[in-house]
Structure 1
Amino acid sequence: MKKLLIILIALTAFISCKSEPQKEQVKKGEIAALKPISDEVLESAVIYEANIRQYSPEGTFNKFTEDIPVLKELGVKIIWLMPINPISEIKRKATGDLFTSEIEDVELRKKYLGSYYSVSDYKAINPEFGTKEDFDNLVKEAHKNGIYVIVDWVPNHTGWDHPWITAHPDFYTQNEKGEIIDPINPDTGESWGWTDTADLNYDNKEMRKEMISDLKYWVENYNIDGYRMDVAHKVPVDFFETAVDELKKIKPIFMLAEAEQPDLLHKAFDMHYGWEAHHIFNEIANGKKDVSAFDEYVTRNDSILEKDDINMNFITNHDENSWNGTLLERMPNKKEVFTALIYLMKGMPLIYSGQEYDLSHRLKFFEKDEIPKEKGAYFDLLKKLGALKNNNTALNGGKNAASYIRIQTSDDKSILAFSREKNGQKVTFIANLSNKNLEFTLDKIGESVEFFTNEKVNFSKEKMNTLKAWDYKIYIY
């Protein structure tokens, strides 16, 4: 009888366990899968643009993967990988308007690797960087560190040896002679100069289907978290809306548009480039504009953008560094104040490969180069700003951004002062965006703590404040 009772109790317990939902067990040593990207993540995110070719002497996925924990130190939550696909051999760019095929010296020809944006196969990996297995390990390592990965995609054009060129010439824009052409500037009717690429024809529905199929491939097979779309303003908005609908059937994704075009944000994209702000920063740094230009920009954005639209804020990226100049060239001895501003204003701040190590040279675009790797004061600044962005809701800059309130000063053309506030947390930014040391009053009262020094400061409307040229303060409550 006693044995029968024990058997019944055991059987009852077994049935009970079977009837309850089983919790997923994580084995010892394993890390639970990263939750899909969400609006909550975007609020406090820092995005990092990874130039794999130039990131290390090896220029490989594996060497970059080793440094993912370093990016975590900087508060990075999203890695944007520049194009990972193989580069076309036909019409491969060397320098200026020269193709590698026009270089007679074989050894000299080898050093020119072409543009990342001349893709020969959307479903393959650039052998410069490694293998698909290496790429898969990169994504997994990022996810283990709580970081999402998006891939740079080139939807407007392909390289000249892409399989579609011969298999589907109707996928491309053609001239009156039936010849495939490179992308044309509609305003001038002339080439953009992207002669190493062939322009895709978005009137062709079959091409659109193939493009979407290739986009799905990397989400389904390598668990990437979205895309940065190159020259998104040159591709029909309705294509992106259809493509994103299809991708979101697989998993939640994050979409960044290389554009400043609000209608792209209605259904397709989460974030676009803050190009106008970037140009304003350069002009203020060079004395061509003052703070009023930034104030007008903020006001205009409030009227143009919807509440859940996100700006990507930056002071450099791959195009700016290689073609328009380094931070040392464009804003000498001023980069710190503009760096702080892109973290404090609404939106998401960008770090470009090498920026964290105070990169001071223009990275070569068509050949091998590399970034410095010595941590210094600027790395520490990005680390502190990243922690503030990640942890203080007053700097939320996503689809439910913290408020932005301009604080009036006695010199609003030179002094930029504003507060951000959300969920009881508040941050104030005050900067002197001029070449002169200034004294000024501030329409602000009460006690604050300076973020970097932890010094307590009492503000009043009558108090005279001082800031050196291009200096700034961050106050927290």
Structure 2
Amino acid sequence: MSRRGIFKLCLIPFLLFYALPASAAEKEERAWQNEMIYFVMVDRFNNGDTSNDVEVNTKDPKAYHGGDLRGIINQLDYIKEMGFTSIWLTPIFENEPGGYHGYWISDFMKVEEHFGTLDDMKELVEKAHERDMKIILDFVANHTGYQHEWLNDSDKAGWFHENQPISNWDNQDDLENGWLFGLPDLDQSHPEARQYLLDAAAYWIEETDIDGYRLDTVRHVPKEFWEEFAVHVKSLKENFFLLGEVWDNDPRYLAEYEKTGIDSFVDYPLYEEMGAVFSEPDKSIGPLYDVWRRNEAYYQNPYLLGTFLDNHDNVRFTRKAIQKQQHPGTRLKMALSYLYTAPGIPIVYYGTEIAMDGGEDPDNRQLMNFRTDDELNKYIGKLASIRKEFSALTEGNFEMLYDQGGMAVFKRTANNEQMIIALNNSSKAEKAVLDSSVIAENKELKGLLLDDSVAEQNGAYEIVLDRETAEIYRLEDKTGINYSFISVIVLIPVLFAAFLFANRRKKNHQ
């Protein structure tokens, strides 16, 4: 081949690249259902600035432990390496003494001094965005701290409901008007109180460019307020996300709040079932699928629900496993495998990646330890990379193909992509035989976690898993003898020999 021919051949890939439409090179906005959220309790995560350690006592579970915004900035790469795309922070607003958790707010438009400054918050958001990560801030609209100055301000006499506890938890008026755990309950129907909360919500968006709010105690605030709140904040930033906390196990009740404009809710019904199913082996995974079917029936978009194993209000998953004399790491791998492959937005509470133990509040809020074995967080990173690569795991339909004992197999399909998720939640090796009609004929399942491979044989797929393990399969064409590749390999030396022979003959005739 002439030099000119070789040049033209090399030019082809460049021409093809630049022939792509400009839109293909543009970065698309990531849909919220594709997010993976890491949930941080600011005070208990990482101390990055000791200058703000006022009255810090790490031995007192109800005192400040020194975690701050600078500490989160310093660990952004740690969080990103596990595959997380968003970080949810507990409230950073100024709190009354002892409010290490952030929920005893004294000023809705100031950063708590223990956590740093407004500039620290701006820097956190900026550096997270540089890493293509989003920041979700916890927002409290229901109450203030116990000793808030407004309680003694005559100009704000109508900002609170009458001081009375919630006496009937099944009565909506009681839920919205009573003082939750004695915290002064704001009356969102009061025009000035209402406007203040809307202004505070706008302040953090405009000042720091955050990407979403996690809304605390949603069911204790009237739906009418949330409707206005949702319209207000979403007018300030495109694709702004609202994740609501409605602590209730009835999906019909939770779904009613979806009509207010809140995008998503933490899925407490699934949380309860996951704790029961995965904290010990030999439990059927079927109840988890039942939750999905109910979610599918009641929610407009069940794919946006926030799914989780533990949080700052509940006993940690590790404690549940220990109480049942199980190895937490093994049990967490099983639970996380489901969390990352089932519909919903995975939310992982800080410390879960090291199997952190913890009982009731505040024991479930221990200081993070970064000097531990990294096997589990590497497993989380692998799950995240698989979830990120295959759209069927974030937007595909969800179908149970097999459920016997502790073994279950699910199928997710989207965009001509099919994924098979197999979980053996039993204490012995299990086998699931699936007819090719429910998957595909003459194909192969390629394992992505354990590098397993299952080819269709005699009209069936035989999936075998060791005890307490999971596998995520991608449906592919069967691998076999690649005759085209072999032909090329054979043809190259033949053509080269022919070229040498022809060249020699040409020289002999000269």
Using the size of structure 2 for normalisation, the TM-score is 0.73
Q: Does 1:310 align with 2:304?
A: yes
Query: What is the CA-CA distance between 1:87 and the residue it aligns to?
Result: 2.0
Instruction: Select the residue among 64, 72, 77 that pairs with 2:85.
Output: 77
Query: What is the CA-CA distance between 1:296 and the residue it aligns to?
Result: 1.9
CA distance in 2, matches of 1:75, 1:370: 22
Aligned position for 1:155 = 141
Q: Would the aligned equivalents of 1:181 and 1:199 in 2 still touch at CA under 8 Å?
A: no
State the Cα deviation string for residues 101-156 of structure 1 (Å, max 9, x = none). xxxxxxxxxxxx55421111111111111111111111111111111111111111
Aligned position for 1:23 = none
CA distance in 2, matches of 1:439, 1:457: 12
CA distance in 2, matches of 1:322, 1:414: 23
State the Cα deviation string for residues 417-455 of structure 1 (Å, max 9, x = none). 111121222211011223343333223453011102334
Q: Would the aligned equivalents of 2:358 and 2:365 in 1 still touch at CA under 8 Å?
A: no
Structure 1, gaps ≥5 residues long? 1-33, 93-112, 175-179
Amino acid in structure 2 at the alignment position of 1:45: E
Structure 2, gaps ≥5 residues long? 1-25, 48-65, 476-510
CA distance in 1, matches of 2:391, 2:303: 18
Give the secondary-structure state (helix, strand or coil) at the position aligned to 2:444. strand
Instruction: Select the residue among 265, 273, 283 that pairs with 1:280.
Output: 273
Q: Does 1:187 align with 2:170?
A: yes
Aligned position for 2:469 = 471
Aligned position for 2:479 = none
Residues 185 and 325 of structure 1: is their aligned pair in 2 closer, same or farther, counting only changes over 3 Å? Answer: farther
Give the secondary-structure state (helix, strand or coil) at the position aligned to 1:158. coil
State the Cα deviation string for residues 54-104 of structure 1 (Å, max 9, x = none). 112441111110111221112212111111112224xx5xxxxxxxxxxxx
Aligned length in residues: 409
Q: Would the aligned equivalents of 1:183 and 1:198 in 2 still touch at CA under 8 Å?
A: no
Amino acid in structure 1 at the alignment position of 2:306: M
CA distance in 1, matches of 2:360, 2:81: 24
Q: Would the aligned equivalents of 1:185 and 1:192 in 2 still touch at CA under 8 Å?
A: no
Q: Would the aligned equivalents of 2:281 and 2:406 in 1 still touch at CA under 8 Å?
A: no
Q: Would the aligned equivalents of 2:444 and 2:454 in 1 still touch at CA under 8 Å?
A: yes
Q: Would the aligned equivalents of 1:405 and 1:418 in 2 still touch at CA under 8 Å?
A: yes
Amino acid in structure 2 at the alignment position of 1:441: V
Q: Would the aligned equivalents of 2:89 and 2:136 in 1 still touch at CA under 8 Å?
A: yes
Aligned position for 1:402 = 396
Give the secondary-structure state (helix, strand or coil) at the position aligned to 1:476. strand
Query: What is the CA-CA distance between 1:384 and the residue it aligns to?
Result: 0.6
Aligned position for 1:21 = none
CA distance in 1, matches of 2:450, 2:381: 15
CA distance in 1, matches of 2:406, 2:194: 49
Aligned position for 1:177 = none
Give the secondary-structure state (helix, strand or coil) at the position aligned to 1:266. helix
Query: What is the CA-CA distance between 1:383 and the residue it aligns to?
Result: 0.5
Identity %: 22
Amino acid in structure 1 at the alignment position of 2:170: D
Larger mean Cα displacement after TM superposition, 309-318 or 432-441 = 432-441
CA distance in 2, matches of 1:439, 1:272: 36
Aligned position for 1:53 = 43
Aligned position for 2:375 = 377
CA distance in 1, matches of 2:432, 2:336: 23
Aligned position for 1:265 = 258
Amino acid in structure 1 at the alignment position of 2:196: E
Name which structure has the greater RCO, CA cutoff 8 Å, separation 6+. 1
CA distance in 1, matches of 2:161, 2:46: 38
Using the size of structure 1 for normalisation, the TM-score is 0.78
Aligned position for 2:384 = 386
Q: Would the aligned equivalents of 1:151 and 1:228 in 2 still touch at CA under 8 Å?
A: yes
Aligned position for 1:43 = 33
Amino acid in structure 2 at the alignment position of 1:378: L
Query: What is the CA-CA distance between 1:367 and the residue it aligns to?
Result: 11
Q: Would the aligned equivalents of 2:313 and 2:360 in 1 still touch at CA under 8 Å?
A: no
Residues 296 and 186 of structure 1: is their aligned pair in 2 closer, same or farther, counting only changes over 3 Å? Answer: closer
Residues 441 and 42 of structure 1: is their aligned pair in 2 closer, same or farther, counting only changes over 3 Å? Answer: same
Q: Would the aligned equivalents of 1:226 and 1:255 in 2 still touch at CA under 8 Å?
A: yes
CA distance in 2, matches of 1:288, 1:209: 53
Residues 375 and 185 of structure 1: is their aligned pair in 2 closer, same or farther, counting only changes over 3 Å? Answer: farther
CA distance in 2, matches of 1:256, 1:474: 28
Aligned position for 2:124 = 138
Residues 435 and 69 of structure 1: is their aligned pair in 2 closer, same or farther, counting only changes over 3 Å? Answer: same
How does 1:37-436 map onto structure 2 within 5 Å?
40-57=30-47, 58-89=66-97, 113=99, 115-167=101-153, 168-174=156-162, 180-181=163-164, 185-187=168-170, 194-195=180-181, 197-252=183-238, 253-259=240-246, 261-285=254-278, 286=280, 290-307=284-301, 310-321=304-315, 325=319, 328-329=322-323, 332=328, 333-362=330-359, 365=362, 369-373=366-370, 374-396=372-394, 401-407=395-401, 409=402, 411-436=403-428
